[in-house]
Structure 1
Amino acid sequence: MTVLVVGASGETGKLLVGELLDRGLSVKAIVRPERSLPDGFPTSESLTIIRGTLLELSDAEMRQHVKGCRAVASCLGHNLSFKGIYGKPRRLVVDATRRLCQAIKANASDDPTRFVLMNTAGNSNRDLQEPLSFGHRCMIGLVRFLLPPHADNEQAADFLRREIGQLDRQVEWVVVRPDSLIDSDRVTEHEQYPSPTRSALFNAGKTSRINVAHFMADLISSDESWKRWKGQMPVIYNKGFS
């Protein structure tokens, strides 16, 4: 199996690449031309580095990169700097999600491609009408207005829910929602739930990046895990923070 990873040079993306390689999968990783690979980035004969700016790739280039991949994983996110939060591209995640899905559909593979999107526990799954307090709804509205990356994450998940939906023959999807991200040097026990078990704003849990990568790799490589979560937006916590 070959997997395309976008956002591969990020803190979670590089861990996902390593998890996939450890499971014997082949990985194609798209990395910006001007960016050096981060410390600890995996090396393997099964890894192909593609230098390019994702949203500047032509439709033909996008189709070529996706071709032959049984899964696509997005760990894209905005840098936590003033330019990263308020500069362009403001719609990085949703535009990348849309273009990648369009490329998958244009290739018209006989088998559906798994699309795994890393998102945030602060984004609710409106398919489930998750219960939110009045204060939470007010604060999320303010965050949505003040912080463009949050709206970008919401719109990317909404694209998969509404425009791809549950019955698409070429794209199947899971949106992974970690809570407050922390670093760890090893995989620890973690738990997944269909909806948050605590408020991401007022009582946030913790999720280590390596656990997110481990879960995303499980979704990609395990039919059992995929069938459990396909078409859903599971929230992942380190065990003890649910």
Structure 2
Amino acid sequence: MKSKTLKSTEGSEVTILVVGASGATGRLLVEELLNRGHYVIAIVRSPESLPNHLVDNLKLTVVIASVLELSDAELAQHVGGCDAVASCLGHNLSLKGIFGQPRRLVTDAVRRLCYAIKSSNSMKPTKFVLMNTTGNRNRDLHEPISFAQKCIIGLIRILVPPHADNEEAADYLRVEIGQDGQAIDWTVVRPDSLINNEKVTAYEVYPSPTRSAIFDAGKTSRINVAHFMADLITDADTWQRWKGQMPVIYNDH
């Protein structure tokens, strides 16, 4: 079963904390949420990485910090009052970014943010939307892969630390947070090979990959990922369809 999306209806204004907001997809998510009229708190290490037209938006609050360097109290303060948290964190594609510290950037951030959400004692569950990768399987479902792909993924897991980080971050939400929805409801978004497009195009969303991430990878534009993540946060029907799951998103060619 698939769902095909181009645009959605927005509900009332909400407040969203975005980490990884200065990244290639994070900036697009921040812009998409602001364009829909919502309030955004963006945690960034370098404010100059955000375009001026975003920084000048009165509904954007910029927190200049590394998410892992914030204290528990500071994180709880930023999370408090937020309806949703979105993570577009990833490792820079450089030797230092791939093999340097922190090796578990995404996982540690997810853990600490979830702890902060639980500490906030919100009256309703907070949405958590994590950007991940289609190379990571959803172990709650039967997602078979070939022996060759299994071998390659195993090598990548050992040799390329960011892949293991993505797996552990998703597994934390899937296993540790689970499906009880008392404090946190979550969705893990799995794009395939990321590309840059200027505009949102039609895209397709599936519960599991429909092609091999190694031998037959599809393409997913970053702006479509941002659009889908914004839909999850702001559109009730989209959220109900995908919460507690790891949807895969492909561009519709």
TM-score relative to the length of structure 1:
0.97
Q: In structure 2, what is the equivalent of residue 113 of structure 1?
A: 126
| Aligned with 1:184 (options 157, 182, 197) | 197
| Aligned with 1:42 (options 30, 35, 54) | 54
SS of the equivalent of 2:18 reads strand
Contact 1:30 1:52 in 2 (8 A): yes
Distance 2:53 2:190 in 1: 23
Q: Which letter maps to 2:49?
A: L
Contact 1:14 1:41 in 2 (8 A): no
Q: In structure 1, what is the equivalent of residue 79 of structure 2?
A: 66
Q: Mark the runs of 5 or more structure 1 residues left unpaired by the alignment.
A: none
Please show how residues 31-110 of structure 1 align to structure 2 within 5 Å. Answer: 31-32=44-45, 34=46, 36-39=48-51, 42-43=54-55, 44-110=57-123
**Shift of residue 41, structure 1, vs aligned partner:** 6.2
SS of the equivalent of 1:105 reads helix
Q: Which letter maps to 1:146?
A: L
TM-score relative to the length of structure 2:
0.93
**Shift of residue 38, structure 1, vs aligned partner:** 4.1
More relative contact order in 1 or in 2 (CA 8 Å, sep 6+)?
A: 2
Distance 2:121 2:186 in 1: 16
Distance 1:126 1:206 in 2: 23
Question: Any idea what the Cα deviations from partners look like across 1:84-136, whole Å, max 9, x if unmatched?
Answer: 00000000000000000000001110110000000000000000021111111
**Shift of residue 35, structure 1, vs aligned partner:** 5.6
Q: Mark the runs of 5 or more structure 2 residues left unpaired by the alignment.
A: 1-13
Distance 1:220 1:38 in 2: 21
Cα distance change, pair 156–81 in 1 and its aligned pair in 2 (3 A): same
Cα distance change, pair 31–127 in 1 and its aligned pair in 2 (3 A): same
| Aligned with 1:166 (options 176, 179, 193) | 179
Cα distance change, pair 51–124 in 1 and its aligned pair in 2 (3 A): same
SS of the equivalent of 2:185 reads strand
Distance 1:40 1:189 in 2: 28
Distance 1:157 1:16 in 2: 20
Q: Determine what percentage of the aligned residue pairs are the same residue.
A: 66
Q: Is 2:136 the partner of 1:123?
A: yes
Q: Is 2:47 the partner of 1:22?
A: no
SS of the equivalent of 2:81 reads coil
Cα distance change, pair 175–212 in 1 and its aligned pair in 2 (3 A): same
Contact 1:120 1:176 in 2 (8 A): yes
**Shift of residue 53, structure 1, vs aligned partner:** 1.1
